[in-house]
Amino acid sequence: MHDAAAPPAWVSLAYLIAGICFILALRGLSSPESSRRGNRFGMAGMGIAVVTTLVTHEVASLVEILIAIAIGGAIGFVVARRIAMTAMPQLVAAFHSLVGLAAVLVAAAAFLNPSAFGITGADGLILPVSRVEMGLGIAIGAITFSGSVIAFLKLNGNMSGKPILLPVRHVINLGTLAAIIGLIAYFTTDQSPWIFWTVTALSFLIGFLLIIPIGGADMPVVVSMLNSYSGWAAAAMGFTLGNSAMIITGALVGSSGAILSYIMCRAMNRSFLSVIAGGFGGDAAAASGGPTIDRPYKRGSAEDAAFLMSQAEQVIIVPGYGMAVAQAQHVLREMGDLLKKEGVRVKYAIHPVAGRMPGHMNVLLAEANVPYDEVFELEDINSEFAQTDVAFVIGANDVTNPAAKTDRSSPIYGMPVLDVEKAKTVLFVKRSMGGAGYAGVENELFFRDNTMMLLADAKKMVEDIVKALG
């Protein structure tokens, strides 16, 4: 049963320590070098928060809770061990959905048995402030759940990555959001069950409607945005439960996710409001046709690539999702090491949204033990392409497409891209000429005079290049 009295001093101290651990975790996760330490701080903070909550609250069955924790922990351990790095974005989206669903279930439990949560007044009714917290928690949680399910389906390939545009979608979305806000306001004066469950149903619906129109080019922003939503849902439920650890944790996750989403929108030259309102560039993406492959292009071999790079003064490697799919990061690092032995300067250029989620490429390169001082973000290295002999692009499509600078009809127009076309020679590793990037547009870089296409599986091509260099 929830204890409405002020908690003992040691409980507040324990939650404060947990909050500090979460802050240190976020600080550690800001860099690949400190990410493991950040994860350890996060785990420690969560352990302190969970143990403190279990010790200070009366529960129906501690044994059942411990069994549930053991089952969940075992599932998480197995999933983390087996999941491929290429599937990490889908996993993150799936975890966000579970956080949202947990908020919905907690809100439902509080509504059905408010006295157990200590949120009733003298008249036996739910306190008005608790109704606001409950309404916001279930609305944000339901939106997080349904939106994350759509994001998972798109990232996992079960649903097309192209925007699915509904007629008058903005009117539908705004009308649904207005209805949710109005019903939550009405819920403060009337706690009838139909109001609560209508808010729940509409919130599930708006989650689907908001994410379906968002195309693949904006999916990294969606993942970050849903992360923020899950934090705010947890914070809202923290107020309902009177749990300061949940409030602190939720606020940290919500604010950090919102800041990351804003930073990513700036990196992509997107308006945050236009993305969450239904997908920036969606109409252009739907109108653009599929890739055309009847234009002339240069094709090269692994031997050609090895010769060009061995003669270069500087090579900039640009990894993308294709590298992740082929699991080519380890052999790519081996290629870089061989080039350095030949006296070639080797650098890695990372676009903020390369892959399917923020930091995807950084994690893969760190996994392959690529030195951190060789990895550069877009704003730090873009000016160097003009003085670079070879740009080696491996599976990075949309983030290197020059059309983003010139083609106003393109769904990626205005998105800052890596200026690889300015290099003396561009070596572009791609499985075939028949596919387009996740945004569904063809890359103009393929057909430039200074581009040589290396058509093969990314890992196999780099392995052949390594043999040629050896």
Catalytic residues: 398
Structure tokens at 408: 């106003």
Instruction: Please state, as a whole number, how many other Cβ atoms lie within 10 Å of the Cβ of residue 470.
Output: 8
Helix (H) or strand (E) holding 87: none
Closest CA to 396 of 325, 306, 461: 325
Dist CA 356 CA 364 (whole Å): 12
- Residue given tokens 């143990």 in the structure block: 51
Instruction: Please state, as a whole number, how many other Cβ atoms lie within 10 Å of the Cβ of residue 49.
Output: 23
Closest CA to 141 of 110, 172, 114, 117: 110
Instruction: Answer whether 204's CB lies under 8 Å from 253's CB.
Output: no
Residue 378 vs residues 86, 204, 321, 350, 399: alpha-carbon distances, Å: 22, 37, 16, 6, 10
Q: What is the dihedral of CA 251, 252, 253, 257, to 10 degrees?
A: 100
**Distant-in-sequence, close-in-space partners of 119: CB < 8 Å, separation ≥ 6:** 2, 110, 126, 127, 130, 240
Instruction: Answer whether 127's CB lies under 8 Å from 172's CB.
Output: no
**Which letter does DSSP use for residue 8 in this model?**
P
Burial 255-278 (b: 16+ CB within 10 A, else e): ebbbebbbebbebbebebeebbbb
